[in-house]
Amino acid sequence: MGEPARLLRHRHHQERGTVTGTSWLAALDAGDLADFAGEMREALNTSVARRDAGPVETCLREWRVTGEALSDPAARAVLTGEVPRP
């Protein structure tokens, strides 16, 4: 098993429930997905270098919150500036 996967598995068993499903990814557009992939790559590299899954967990948590917010049409309109003017 690769080092990042081992770190995540170990940390997940320590703090069960910190990593959830990925349905929130569906709310991200192509640009957001590219940003997520880049940030996740950096977080993985940092996690491996430090032997600590914290950076990956933080990245996932922050992007999960973003994806969940964007899945709500009203919140998405506000966050993306697409709120119709009265």
User: 61 Cβ partners below 8 Å, 6+ apart?
Assistant: 18
Tokens in use for 14?
A: 């320590």
Average the pLDDT over 16-38 and give the result.
Answer: 81
pTM above 0.85, yes or no: no
User: Which of the two residues, 74 and 56, has the higher pLDDT score?
Assistant: 56
pLDDT at 80 over 50: yes
Instruction: Let me know how long the chain is.
Output: 86
pLDDT at 41 over 90: yes
Q: How far apart are CA 60 and CA 63, in angstroms?
A: 5
Tokens in use for 6?
A: 């081992």
Average the pLDDT over 35-40 and give the result.
Answer: 96
